[in-house]
């Protein structure tokens, strides 16, 4: 009988019937019902996690990708076996896709553990699917490689190039401000998403694709190829073949997702002007491996890592332009002095070796030289102060420079329902200089920390031409959005964080230069308010996943993961800054 450590293929993870020989016999009998021969079943198994769904147009090319991966696996001598998991689509997930991310990670991890596979290809794309898959695979310990569905192409509206979802928000803001009529908003609605695939800007999906490549858990060049191109299909085929090679090399996630790899990923997140959500997701993935992302050190890293990629919402271009400019390889070459080039990748080679082997650089205008960036510091800044003792985030590369040093009166909304009820009220007491504050949209409060931090400009101000205001919340913002928006205020209002104490009329001071966010109310008054505060309680009638979520979710600085899924000890902190 094989030793447990030597079992692979169909012999791996046998169902327990009390007789191992019978367990294998029964397994082979049933799989042969699908037409497999003994020759096929003797080969190493590469499982393919298929997240295709009719509710998820971001994954609309999944069938073609699955077939290409299968082809690559078979060309390399393996047996491809497809299996489904949960699929999360951002605009089709109630109450929010973030609420379901941890469920998808559990689904992914448990299916990897439950089914016999020697390696797994993870096909994801839409915002939360890639982090969910990497969180699950990191803990499952089977050789894993990420494949993203790729970004959609751009459309055209009245001669202007448009793409989801930065332009979705831009046109909707114009509609709210009465700059365009109902006919035009309907017309542009037909052009913003012209193909399947993820958002065409540097939103969360594109950010996570770049992060996965920077981590080394995706093939070099795999982040940028658009969904509907031959390049994307070829990446899929090579991914299948690489998965087979990873089996022989025993390239389990812990060998690739190292502290050095996470530091590389953080550099890339900052340099591409990536989504603020990337911080939460990287923190969650790292936490599964006992690695803690330290926000203070991330901010120090940001001060020396400029934004190099001229993509919306921080710049002007789209993901297909980055692909034509050489993809993430072009970015990594500019960052080379700051990277850990000895970090291992899924190819079995180091990041440095892959960069040396990549095609030569060429003239392009999407990725700026390191000494001529589009923004001098990393796209994300970490704020602290009495309003956010454990931190808050602002995407400074997509903010208004005139508002990043700002003190003003707070206009407070207690929760999302209060916001919806009053934001467009003509009688709302609000001025363009005020700071909008939204409570109750954190991990517990919403629940699920929705992307409601992009608080709309009050309609009465939008009609006067106001385009941006300082906005503060304990929620998240889509990576496709722009504005002077403070997010992830931790601890959140629902569990008694200082944000819960803010009242309309209070003064708040934001200083991105000093990395501070302060509520200008004296301690005695805050103490009186805290005595009157009622924090969130769990309804005793809650059940199922919602109850699990509310009782187990951590705050943003711990990745909004479930406490029981994080490694029992966080033994390493990243980034470890160089002297």
pLDDT at 507: 98
Mean pLDDT of 377-392: 97
pLDDT at 5: 42
Mean pLDDT of 325-329: 98
Q: Considering the chain, what is the average pLDDT of its residues?
A: 96
pLDDT tier at 6 (50, 70, 90 boundaries)?
A: low
Same domain, 228 and 347: yes
DSSP single-letter state for residue 501: G
Same domain, 135 and 236: yes
Mean pLDDT of 37-52: 97
Q: Quote the longest CA-to-CA distance of the chain.
A: 78
Same domain, 352 and 263: yes
Q: What are the tens digits of pLDDT across the range 367-380? A: 999 999 999 999 99
Distance CA 247, CA 245 (A): 5
CB 275, CB 202: distance < 8 Å: yes
Spatial neighbors of 46 by CB under 8 A, at least 6 apart, are 69, 73, 78, 79, 80, 81, 117, 118, 119, 120, 121, 240, 243, 244, 247
Domain annotation covers residue 70: yes
Same domain, 258 and 394: no
Distance CA 356, CA 351 (A): 9
Q: Is the pLDDT of residue 577 over 90?
A: no
- Nearest alpha-carbon partner for 281 in 146, 165, 136, 132: 132
pLDDT at 3: 45
pLDDT at 1: 39
Domain annotation covers residue 488: yes
- Nearest alpha-carbon partner for 440 in 396, 387, 489, 481: 489
Q: Which of 357, 392, 422 is the last residue of a domain?
A: 357
Q: Is 505 left (phi over 0), alpha (psi -120 to 50) or beta?
A: left
Domain annotation covers residue 374: no
Enumerate the β-bridge partners of residue 48. 82, 121
CB 73, CB 79: distance < 8 Å: yes
- Nearest alpha-carbon partner for 338 in 48, 94, 577, 569: 577
Stated as kind and residue range, the H or E segment containing 156 is strand 155-157
Mean pLDDT of 71-86: 98
Listing DSSP states for 59-118 in one string gives GTTHHHHHHHHHHHHHHTT-EEEEEE-----GGG-SS-HHHHHHHHHHHHHHHHHHS--S
Q: Is the pLDDT of residue 562 over 50?
A: yes
Same domain, 410 and 424: yes
Same domain, 425 and 467: yes
Mean pLDDT of 27-49: 96
Residue-wise burial string across 289-308, b where 16 or more C-beta atoms lie within 10 A, e elsewhere: bebbbbbebbbbbbeebbbb
Domain that holds residue 165: 155-189
Q: Which of 143, 165, 189 is the last residue of a domain?
A: 189
Q: What is the number of structural domains in the chain?
A: 3
SS3 label, residue 50:
strand
Mean pLDDT of 281-309: 97
CB 123, CB 62: distance < 8 Å: yes
Mean pLDDT of 216-223: 98
Q: Helices then strands (H, E): number in the chain? A: 20, 16
Pair of tokens at residue 172: 């909707």
Domain annotation covers residue 278: no
Same domain, 219 and 252: yes
- Nearest alpha-carbon partner for 394 in 407, 378, 415, 414: 378
**CA triple 363-278-204, angle to 5 deg:** 70
Enumerate the β-bridge partners of residue 162. 155
Same domain, 421 and 352: no
Instruction: Tell me the Cα Rg of the chain.
Output: 24
pLDDT tier at 2 (50, 70, 90 boundaries)?
A: very low
pLDDT tier at 553 (50, 70, 90 boundaries)?
A: very high
| Neighbouring C-beta atoms of residue 3, cutoff 10 Å | 6
Mean pLDDT of 76-99: 96
Determine phi and psi for 573, rounding to 5 degrees: -110, 140
| Neighbouring C-beta atoms of residue 29, cutoff 10 Å | 9
Q: What are the tens digits of pLDDT across the range 495-548? A: 999 999 999 999 999 999 999 999 999 999 999 999 999 878 888 899 999 999
Edge-to-edge order in the sheet of strand 119-124: 79-84, 45-50, 119-124, 144-148
Same domain, 131 and 232: yes
Distance CA 303, CA 515 (A): 11
Any idea what the CATH number is for the domain that residue 218 is in?
3.40.50.2300
- Nearest alpha-carbon partner for 323 in 337, 309, 313: 309
Q: Is the pLDDT of residue 83 over 60?
A: yes
Q: Is the pLDDT of residue 209 over 80?
A: yes
Q: What percent of the chain has pLDDT over 70?
A: 99
Same domain, 353 and 474: no
| Neighbouring C-beta atoms of residue 525, cutoff 10 Å | 12
């Amino acid at each position: 009988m094989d030793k447990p450590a030597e079992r692979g293929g169909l012999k791996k993870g046998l169902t327990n019937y009390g007789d191992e020989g019978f367990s294998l016999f029964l397994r082979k009998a049933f799989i042969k019902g699908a037409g497999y021969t003994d020759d096929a079943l003797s080969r190493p198994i590469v499982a393919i996690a298929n997240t295709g769904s009719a509710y998820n147009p971001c994954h609309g090319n999944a069938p073609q990708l699955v077939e290409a991966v299968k082809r690559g696996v078979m060309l390399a001598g393996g047996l491809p076996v497809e299996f489904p998991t949960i699929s999360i689509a951002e605009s089709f997930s109630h109450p929010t896709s973030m609420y379901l991310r941890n469920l998808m990670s559990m689904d992914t991890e448990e299916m990897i553990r439950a089914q016999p596979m020697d390696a797994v290809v993870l096909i994801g794309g839409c915002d939360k699917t890639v982090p969910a898959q990497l969180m699950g695979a990191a803990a499952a310990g089977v050789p894993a490689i990420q494949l993203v569905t790729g970004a959609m192409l751009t459309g055209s509206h009245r001669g202007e190039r448009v793409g989801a979802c930065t332009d979705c928000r831009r046109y909707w803001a114009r509609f709210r401000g009465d700059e365009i009529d109902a006919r035009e908003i309907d017309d542009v609605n037909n052009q913003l998403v012209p193909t399947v695939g993820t958002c065409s800007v540097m939103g969360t999906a594109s950010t996570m694709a770049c992060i996965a490549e920077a981590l080394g858990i995706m093939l070099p060049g795999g982040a940028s190829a658009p969904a509907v191109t031959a390049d994307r299909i070829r990446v899929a085929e090579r991914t299948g073949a690489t998965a087979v090679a990873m089996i022989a090399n025993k390239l389990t996630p812990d060998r690739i997702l190292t502290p050095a790899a996470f530091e590389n990923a953080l550099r890339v997140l900052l340099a591409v002007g990536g989504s603020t959500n990337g911080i939460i997701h990287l923190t969650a993935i790292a936490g599964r491996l006992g690695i803690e992302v330290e926000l203070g050190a991330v901010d120090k890293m940001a001060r020396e890592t400029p934004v190099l990629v001229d993509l919306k919402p921080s710049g002007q271009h789209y993901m297909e332009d980055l692909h034509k400019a050489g993809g993430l390889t072009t970015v990594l070459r500019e960052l080379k002095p700051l990277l850990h080039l000895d970090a291992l990748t899924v190819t079995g080679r180091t990041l440095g070796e892959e960069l040396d082997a990549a095609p030569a650089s060429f003239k392009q205008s999407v990725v700026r030289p390191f000494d001529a960036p589009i923004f001098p510091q990393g796209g994300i800044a970490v704020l602290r102060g009495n309003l956010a003792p454990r931190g808050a985030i602002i995407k400074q590369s997509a903010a208004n420079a005139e508002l990043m040093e700002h003190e003003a009166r707070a206009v407070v909304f207690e929760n999302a329902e209060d916001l919806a009820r009053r934001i467009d009220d003509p009688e709302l007491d609000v001025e363009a200089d005020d700071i909008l504050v939204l409570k109750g949209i954190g991990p517990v409060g919403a629940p699920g920390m929705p992307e409601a931090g992009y608080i709309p400009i009050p309609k009465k101000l939008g009609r006067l031409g106001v385009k941006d205001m300082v906005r503060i919340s304990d929620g998240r913002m889509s990576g496709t959005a722009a504005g002077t928006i403070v997010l992830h205020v931790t601890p959140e209002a629902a569990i008694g964080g200082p944000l819960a104490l803010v009242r309309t009329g209070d003064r708040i001071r934001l200083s991105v230069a000093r990395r501070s966010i302060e509520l200008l109310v004296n301690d005695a008054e805050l103490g009186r308010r805290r005595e009157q505060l009622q924090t969130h309680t769990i309804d005793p009638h809650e059940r199922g996943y919602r109850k699990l979520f509310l009782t187990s979710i951590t705050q943003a600085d711990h990745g909004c993961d479930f406490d029981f899924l994080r490694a029992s000890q966080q033994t390493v902190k990243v980034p470890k800054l160089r002297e």
